Amino acid sequence: MSKKLTMLAVGDVILEKPNAGQYLSLVAPTFKKSDVVLGMGEVMLSDRSIRTFVEFFPSPGGPASNCKVLADAGFNVINLAGNHAFDSGAPGIEDTVNGLKKLGIAVTGAGMNIDEARTPAIIERGGTRFGFLNYNCVGPIGEWAHKFKPGCAYVQILTHYELGGANPGGPPDVYTFAVPRTLDMMTEDIMKLRPLCDVLTVSFHKGILGNPEMLAMYDKQVSHAAIDAGADLVQGCHAHMLKGIEMYKGKAIYHGLGQFVSVGAGLTDEQRKEFRSLGGPNMSTYVLRLDPARNLTMIAKCVIEDKKITKLSYLPCQINDDQKPEILKHDAKGQQVFDFMDRITKAAGLNVGYEWDGDEIMIYQI
C-alpha cells in the first residue's frame, strides 16, 4: 500500500510588489506540511519585463526574486496560463519559467512556444506520480503562445448573443463554447499525459468576473471534456471570487478557487491615462465594482491513497486587512465561507453539498 498523500491547491497569486514573502506567511506552515501544493501564477516574475499592453488591464509583473517567495512558501507546482501571461513579453515568460524551475518548482501552461506551453508538469511523491496541465480560456489572443511566439496554452472560447424576443436592443441570451480545434488540442494533451501519471489535474483560467453564482456555458463544457479525456480533478481560476463545486462522473470540478494573494504594484497616473486612452475600463472604480466577498477564498484539498483521490475537501480562508490569506476554523468566520459556498453552489444548480469535519469542509455529491 502506498503512502497517504495530501495535495493542496489555491487560486490566483499576484505578487507584483518586491519582498512579498510576508503575504504568504500565515499559510506557509500548512503548505510545507503537504506533499504537493499547486498555485496559479497570475503574473510573470522577471527583472527584464517588457510592457506589451496586449491586455486592457495590464500587469507590470513582479520582480524575479518573488520566485523564491513561492518556493519558500512551499509551492511545488505553478500554473502560468492566464490572461497576463504575455504582459511582460518574452523575457517575462522566460525568466519566470527558468526561475521557478531552478528552485525546484514545476511549471505548466506557458513557454517560449506553444509546444512548451502545452508541456505538462510531472512530479513524484511517495511512489505516486502527479501530472498537471493548464489552459487559458479568457485572455486576449495576444497572450497565446504559437509555434514561433512565447505565451500561454489556451482553449479558445467563442461568445454568441441571441435576441430571443421581439425586443431590438434588449438583453440577449448568451451562449459560449470552445472552438473544436483548440478543445481537441487539450484533450490530446490529457490523453498523452494519462499513462504517465497516477493523479492528473487540469486547471483552467476561466469564469465570469464579479458574479460568483454564474457559470458560463463553456465552464462546464471544457471541464467535462477534460474529465472525459482522463482528468481526475479540474480546477478553475481567474474570476477572483469563489465559484461552486461540481461532481462529474465521480470527479470534482472546483469551478473557481478565488483569488488567494493579490498584491498589485498599481499603475502610475501616466500609465492610467494611457490605459484609458486605449479604451480600458475606469480602473479607479473597477475593483470597487467587485463584491466584497472577493476576500473569501479557499485551499482545495485532496487526499490520495493507493495512487487515487479518496477524499475531497477545502480549507476555508479569508484575506485579512493586511492582504494575507489566513486559514479559518470551524467558527463564525469559517461558517461565513461555508454559507457563501453553499449559496453559490445551489444558485449555480450544481450537485454538491458540504459538511464540516473538524476545521475542514468536506465535499459530497447530492
Residues sharing a CB contact under 8 Å with residue 311, sequence separation 6 or more, in sequence order? 301, 302, 303, 362
In degrees, rounded to 5, the angle at the alpha carbon of residue 107 between the alpha carbons of residues 251 and 205 is: 55
Backbone angles phi, psi at 214, to 5 degrees: -100, 130
How does residue 175 score in pLDDT terms, banded at 50, 70 and 90?
Answer: very high
Q: How far apart are CA 198 and CA 178, in angstroms?
A: 27
Q: Model-level pTM?
A: 0.92
> Which among 165, 21, 44 has a CA at the least distance from the CA of 93?
44
> Residue 302: pLDDT above 50?
yes
> Residue 94: pLDDT above 90?
yes
Q: Can you list the domains of the chain with their CATH numbers? A: 5-365 (3.60.21.10)
How does residue 110 score in pLDDT terms, banded at 50, 70 and 90?
Answer: very high
How does residue 169 score in pLDDT terms, banded at 50, 70 and 90?
Answer: confident
How does residue 34 score in pLDDT terms, banded at 50, 70 and 90?
Answer: very high
> Which among 262, 123, 253, 255 has a CA at the least distance from the CA of 193?
123
Q: Tell me which residue has cell 505548466.
A: 108
pLDDT (tens digit per residue) in 61-86:
999 999 999 999 999 999 999 999 99
Tell me what percent of the residues of the chain surpass a pLDDT of 90: 82
Q: How far apart are CA 70 and CA 318, in angstroms?
A: 19
Q: Which residue has the higher pLDDT, 287 or 17?
A: 17
Mean pLDDT of 178-187: 98
Q: Please tell me the predicted confidence (pLDDT) of residue 223.
A: 98
- In one-letter notation, the amino acid at residue 8 is L
